[in-house]
Structures are given as structure tokens and as C-alpha cells.
Structure 1
Amino acid sequence: MHPTIYKIATETMWQAAEAEGRFTGAPIDIADGYIHFSTGEQAIETVRLHFAGQEGLVLVAVDAGALGDKLVFEPSRGGALFPHLYAPLPLSAVKWVKPLPLGPDGAHVFPDLAL
């Protein structure tokens, strides 16, 4: 079984990807030359550091095994290996998309993640 990796995106950005049939990345992804993903263990911290308090987010679960050799795990925050996709994300690799709402404490409420 292949691991699941996660992308945090705005609802608007994800709706555009669905209309286009693929996700080419957020502005930071395009600037860096690859699409940033997180493992289940990394996703909560990624949201806390880069999306704190932001409404209108979705969490996209992706089958890492469907991405082939364009997916590379590279050192990033604290030396941890993060998944980076050097190609557009085909929607066929997406397992599910769920809202990432803010809870009463202002932190995002996550669905159960495959760790």
C-alpha cells in the first residue's frame, strides 16, 4: 500500500484545479518549481506555520504511489523529508478532498489522517 500525502489549498484554488483537470500548484509551489506536500505527521504543523487562522481551506489526500518518479522526498523544515512533486498533480491521484475548518480555538480541525 502506498503512503498518503497531503496538500493544503484554498477552496477556490482547488475548484480551479478540478475545472482544469489537474493542479499546477499554489503561487509558492510555482515559485519554488515543485508542489509542496506534507505527510500525515507533518500536515498539522504545516498548517499551523503557514496557514494559521486562514479560512476556506481544503485538505487534499493524494496516493503518493500514483505520482511515480516525479515525487521526491527532500529535506526541509528541521531536516525532515518532505514530499515534493516536480510535475502537475493529476486529479486521478487524489483519494479525497475535505474541508479544513477553523475550530472554536482558532486552530484548524483535521479529519483523521493516514500516518
Structure 2
Amino acid sequence: MILHFCTATAWAAAQRTGDYTADSLATEGFIHCSTAAQVHVPATMLARGRTDLVLLEIDESRLPEPPRWEPGEGTDMEFPHVYGPIPVHAVIAVHPYPPEPDGSFAPPKGLV
């Protein structure tokens, strides 16, 4: 299981089209994903204080091809990258992802 955070609006749009895409797919060639233990790092860095985020819980076996584990920018961690749209049927759960009072994000409870 891997995770991707996005806005609830973006997820609603994906449900209408059948596939989820992120801007990074066009600009970098892949969709950034994370494990439950690391998703708070990019969420805090990129979306601090946002209150409209959800976590997509993705079953890797339902993707057209497996994610590639590659180094994250500015960190020694490897992150799963999905090289193509994520089919809606690969998302097995969607979780609200509210920030902490200081605007940062914590590892999601119950998924780590």
C-alpha cells in the first residue's frame, strides 16, 4: 500500500474521469507517492496548513505497472513514483488528512 495526498476536489474530478493525474505527471513524468511513515514529510513541505487534503490509499497490485522506488529530492529516503495515471479502481480507501494546529502534517493514524 502506498499513499498520495491531493485535494478533495482533485479526487472528485478523478472519480468522474476514471483516472487520477497530478501536475507532476506532466512536468516530471510521474506521480509522487509515499509510504504511511513518510507522507507527512512532503505534505508538510508542500501543503503546510491546507485543510482540503485527502490521502489516497493505493493498492500497488492494481496499478498498470508497479511504482519505482527512487530518491526523494533533498532527502536520503526513497519514495514510490507512479509513472502514469492512477486508475480510480486502484484507490482502495480515501482518508481525510487535516493538518496539525501548527499547520504541519503528522503520519496518518491507523495507517503507519
Q: TM-score, normalised by structure 2?
A: 0.85
Residue 69 of structure 1 is matched in structure 2 by 65
CA RMSD of aligned residues (A): 1.8
CA distance in 1, matches of 2:76, 2:5: 21
Aligned to 2:80: 83
Asked whether the 8 Å contact 2:25–2:83 carries over to 1, the reply is no
Percent identity reads 34
Structure 2 gaps of 5+ residues are none
How many aligned residue pairs are there? 110
- Bigger CA drift: 93-102 or 73-82? 73-82
> What secondary structure, in the 3-state scheme, does the structure 1 residue paired with 2:50 have?
coil
| Large movers: runs of 4+ above 6 Å | none
C-alpha distance in 2 between matches for 1:47 and 1:88: 20
Q: Give the C-alpha shift of residue 57 in structure 1.
A: 0.6
The 5-angstrom pairing of residues 1-115 of structure 1 reads: 4-25=1-22, 27-77=23-73, 78-108=75-105, 110-113=108-111, 115=112
Q: Amino acid of the residue matched to residue 35 of structure 1?
A: I
Aligned equivalents of 2:61, 2:78: Cα separation in 1: 16
By percentage of residues, which structure has more helix? 1
Q: Which ranges of structure 1 fall in alignment gaps of 5 or more residues?
A: none
Deviation, 1:68, is 4.9
Quote how far apart the aligned CAs of 1:98 are: 1.3
Q: Could you tell me how far apart the structure 2 residues matched to 1:64 and 1:70 are? A: 6
TM-score with structure 1 setting the length: 0.83
